[in-house]
Structure 1
Amino acid sequence: VYIFYSLFMIWATDSGAYFVGKATGKTKLWPEISPNKTVEGSLGGVICALLVAVLFAIFSEINASIISLMAITIVLSIFGQIGDLVQSAFKRHFNVKDSGNILPGHGGILDRFDSLLFVLPLLHLFHLW
C-alpha cells in the first residue's frame, strides 16, 4: 500500500503542478534549472498530493492517521519536486535533453523515476518511526 501511495502521490504532485502552473503560474520557481516550473504550480502539486493522502486515509489500509499522513505527504511532495529539479539540474549541467533513449521526448527514463529516488527513502524512514 505504501508503494501505491507514493506512486499516486507523486503522480498527483506532478499533474497538479503542471495544470495549476499552466493555469495560474506567474512566479518562476528556479528558472536557471527548469524555466517552466512555477511557485504556484509547486503549491498546486502539494495540494493535489494532499487530496490523494486523504483518499488513501479513507479508502486504504494504510497504517497512519489522516493528520500524520497529510504532514508526511507535504514533506514527500516537496522532496519529490526537489528530485525533479535535481534531475533537471543534472541534464542542464551536462547539456543533454534526455537522460536516455528509452523514452525519447519525455526527458528519458530517469525523468520517470527522479521523484521516486527522493521519496522512497524518506517514506521508508517515516515508516520506521
Structure 2
Amino acid sequence: MKQRVITAIIALLIFVPLLYLGGTPFNLLVMAMGLVAMTELLSMKKIYLVAPEAIVSYLAIACLLIPSAWFNGIFYNGFYFFVLVLLAFTVFSKNRFNFDDAGALILGSIYAGLGFHYMMEARHVGFMMILYAFLITWITDSGAYLFGRKFGKHKLAPNVSPNKTWEGSIGGTLSAVVIVGIYVFYNQTLFNYSMIEMLGLTLLFSIGAQFGDLIESAFKRYYEVKDSGKILPGHGGILDRFDSILLVLPLMHFAGLI
C-alpha cells in the first residue's frame, strides 16, 4: 500500500501540472505514454522489443500519436504504410510472425494510438474539456468500487473481471451522471449540446469507461498476466491506469466534443 501511495503521488505531481500547462510539454508526455503502452502490448505478446515487427509497431503508433496540429497530420498516411509492412512480414518471416500477430499489433496500435491522440486533442480544446473526460472516468471507477463493495451481488463479467458487479456498474454510472452533471451545469458554455443531451452523453461515456476497463481486463486474461506493465509500482502499467479513458476520448470525438 505504501508503494502504491508513493507512486500515485509522484505520478500526479508530474502528470497534473503538465495536464494543466498543456501544449508541447503535455503532448510529449502523452506521446511517451503511448509508446510505453505499445511496449506493454508487445510484452504481453512476448515479442522482443528490438524485433523488426516491434520496431515497425512503434513507428505505426507514433504516426497516430503525433498531434494533428503538427505537420498538418501528414503522418497519418505513414500509419497505413507500416500496417502494410507488418502484413508483409507474415510472408517473409515464414509464419514465425503470422496474421494473428500482425492483427494484434495493428489493433493495439489503433487502440492505444488513437486513445492517447485524442487525449492531446481534448487538451487542445481546453483544460475544462479534458477535465470533463477525466472526471467521468474517475467518478465512474470510484462509484463502481464503493457501490460494488456495499451492494454488489450479481457478477457483471465473471469470465473477464470476477470482482465487478452489476450493482457497482450501475452505481458508478449514476454517480458520474449526477456529479459530472453538476460540472456540466456550471460549464454549459463549454459544450455545444443542451443540458439534457450532455447528461445522455455523460451516461454513454461512463458506460464506455467501464467497457474500456473490461477490454483491458480481457487482454490481460487472454495473455495470462496480472498487470499490463510495471512502470508504475503498485499500480501496474500505463494501460492499467488509462484503460477507461482510452475508450472515453474516442467516444467524445465521435460525439463532436473533440
TM-score with structure 2 setting the length: 0.48
- Is contact 1:56-1:62 (8 Å) kept? no
SS at match of 2:163: strand
Aligned pair partner of 1:62 in 177, 186, 190: 190
Aligned to 1:31: 158
SS in 2 for 1:119: helix
Q: Corresponding residue for 1:6? A: 133
Partner of 1:120: 249
Aligned partner of 1:21 among 148, 160, 165: 148
- Unpaired stretches in structure 1, ≥5 consecutive residues: none
The structure 2 residue matched to 1:80, chosen from 209, 224, 235, is 209
Shift of 1:102: 1.1
Tell me if the contact between 1:80 and 1:116 (Cα under 8 Å) persists in the aligned partners: yes
Letter in 2 for 1:119: V
Cα drift, residue 59 of structure 1: 1.9
Q: Aligned partners of 1:127, 1:16: CA distance in 2, in Å?
A: 27
Cα distance in 2 for partners of 1:29, 1:107 equals 23
Maintained 8 Å contact 1:57/1:65: no
How large is the Cα RMSD of the aligned pairs?
1.5
The partner residue of 2:230 within 71, 83, 101 is 101
Secondary structure of the residue aligned to 2:190 is coil
Equivalent position of 2:175 in the other structure: 48
Aligned-pair identity in percent equals 52
1:103 deviates by: 1.7
Structure 2: distance between partners of 1:50 and 1:111 = 24
Relative contact order higher in (CA < 8 Å, ≥ 6 apart): 1
Q: Secondary structure of 1:35's match?
A: strand
Distance 2:254 2:179 in 1: 20
The CA distance in 2 between the partners of 1:37 and 1:45, in whole Å, is 11
Q: How far apart are the structure 1 equivalents of 2:143 and 2:236?
A: 19
Distance 1:53 1:69 in 2: 10
Higher helix share: 2
Q: 2: distance between equivalents of 1:47 and 1:15?
A: 11
**Matched-pair contact (CA < 8 Å) for 1:98–1:105:** no
Query: Which sections of structure 2, spanning at least 5 residues, go unmatched?
Result: 1-127
Corresponding residue SS for 1:127: coil
Query: How far is 1:120 from its partner?
Result: 0.4
Secondary structure at the aligned position of 1:56 is classed as helix
Alignment TM-score, normalising by the size of structure 1 = 0.93
1:62: Cα distance to partner?
2.3
Corresponding residue for residue 240 of structure 2: 111
